[in-house]
Structure 1
């Protein structure tokens, strides 16, 4: 079975055709439980997310803030394995027919085996991978296997990236480009900042791929702001925090659904 990079491309193009940004949600697999994590992805789609990134929890998530680290710890203590991440992708895709990516650090893939990982992700219906710590110059093997299995490869660019570096990164990627709007780790912030708009402008000068902004958006007003200049708005910590703050899993799922609806209104300019 081939992966769903085409579905991702079509979904982002459809949002653009509607004159809006896409809403991309991030949720860690295995949080609060393996089954609960699957339901959380479905809830985000139900609320209005166009795409969901499923996080593969890591014991040393150097790019993630305290909220996602807490969720990762819960997932790992619950015994989460890569097969459970694949199950999360499969069940979410089969239930919704919408694009699901995996966001992961490189080391778990390297240990698991690149061919095995890409083949299983494609078989599960995945659309691709976001690899925040894989340098482009070391990505040829990954990209070869991902392309063979119909998977996208999303790289991350940051405000510190020079223009020449941006061009190298975007030329190697597919699906979309993940623009990290602020330097440092993930987490909700009061203002997304002017850096994001400048980074999107510089990135778009190098590529026709959609440029989606993450790291900082937590409410509809911010989503509307970012939607004014980006092709997609990526939200992670805010979803996870809603679940952490909920009294129980049912309330957490309702909170995810409600936040997705709020953010979906924001990317449509209704905030």
Structure 2
């Protein structure tokens, strides 16, 4: 059983949803982001989403765009991100890791080689923001052979027939982009989430993680109960960015992010 499936099944037994924090790799530097990554499970992360810095993050708002630029300036590469995961796995064999990024770096790396190396490093799933279902054959066979879940994205604008098409071969979990727009620029209401989730569940038995616009403990609690998981990204990046001095980490950087993560986790588990 994959780590993703095992974790969601364990949480279902506990009677609660998951908290999935987002971390931009190499932001503001390799050492700080690795320290945060290693500390996140103890602070309440059930799964962890790692952003792969890319020069043209078209789905992301200003906060994550800035984080990606800091990561690139710090020397981030796709291979470097896999090395970070490999280091994380030296002390944590259970927490599922999902990479979120764009197709160009994977294509440049080599799809087959990437899927194999990602699994060997300890990655459990990938979210490729700009890869529609019709182009998934670039990765699909390689991912399945390696045992890597490709996480499907759906949105409020996804029609019912499209939902069934996108999710028929989905694995891991479904990522529900809860707003029509880029990251960190708005939030869906509880009523909107309650209306959307039954439509998604008609098309799949996979867990549904709700992301884009989840920033407060209250929103995380609601999303994790209406869906199966809450993804918190921009809010954590904003906190981290607020501790930096001229783009560099300070003594407040790691503790500030972990404090916020503990508060989010308390709400999800409460």
TM over 0.5: yes
Q: Deviations over 1:19-72 (max 9, x none)?
A: 111111111111010121111212222210011111111111110011111111
Partner of 1:217: 214
Runs of 4+ more than 6 Å apart: none
Tell me how far apart the structure 2 counterparts of residues 57 and 199 of structure 1 sit (CA, whole Å). 30
Q: Deviations over 1:81-102 (max 9, x none)?
A: 1111101211223322211111
How far did 1:189 drift?
4.0
Partner of 2:239: 242
How far did 1:191 drift?
5.6
How far did 1:193 drift?
5.0
How far did 1:214 drift?
0.2
How far did 1:138 drift?
1.2
Unaligned runs of 5+ in 1: none
How far did 1:80 drift?
1.1
Q: Are positions 1:120 and 2:117 aligned together?
A: yes
Q: Are positions 1:24 and 2:20 aligned together?
A: yes
- Residues 54-65 of structure 1 aligned to structure 2 (within 5 Å): 54-65=50-61
Cα distance, 1:87–1:195 mapped onto 2, change above 3 Å: same
Partner of 1:265: 266
SS at the partner of 1:187? coil
Tell me how far apart the structure 2 counterparts of residues 188 and 258 of structure 1 sit (CA, whole Å). 23
SS at the partner of 2:86? helix
Tell me how far apart the structure 2 counterparts of residues 133 and 249 of structure 1 sit (CA, whole Å). 34
Aligned with residue 195 of structure 2, among 170, 178, 198: 198
SS at the partner of 1:233? strand
How far did 1:192 drift?
4.2
- Decide whether the 8 Å contact of 2:103 with 2:128 is kept in 1: yes
Partner of 2:228: 231
- Decide whether the 8 Å contact of 2:85 with 2:122 is kept in 1: yes
- Residues 1-271 of structure 1 aligned to structure 2 (within 5 Å): 6-97=2-93, 98-187=95-184, 189=186, 192=189, 194-247=191-244, 248-268=249-269, 270=270
How far did 1:180 drift?
0.5
RMSD: 1.5
How far did 1:250 drift?
3.4
- Decide whether the 8 Å contact of 2:163 with 2:200 is kept in 1: yes
- Decide whether the 8 Å contact of 1:47 with 1:260 is kept in 2: yes
- Decide whether the 8 Å contact of 2:61 with 2:185 is kept in 1: no
Q: TM-score, normalised by structure 1?
A: 0.93
SS at the partner of 2:16? coil
Tell me how far apart the structure 2 counterparts of residues 38 and 197 of structure 1 sit (CA, whole Å). 36
- Decide whether the 8 Å contact of 2:24 with 2:68 is kept in 1: yes
Q: Greater shift after overlay, 47-56 or 259-268?
A: 259-268
- Decide whether the 8 Å contact of 1:54 with 1:89 is kept in 2: no
Q: Deviations over 1:153-192 (max 9, x none)?
A: 1011000000111111111211000001111101164664
Tell me how far apart the structure 1 counterparts of residues 187 and 207 of structure 2 sit (CA, whole Å). 25
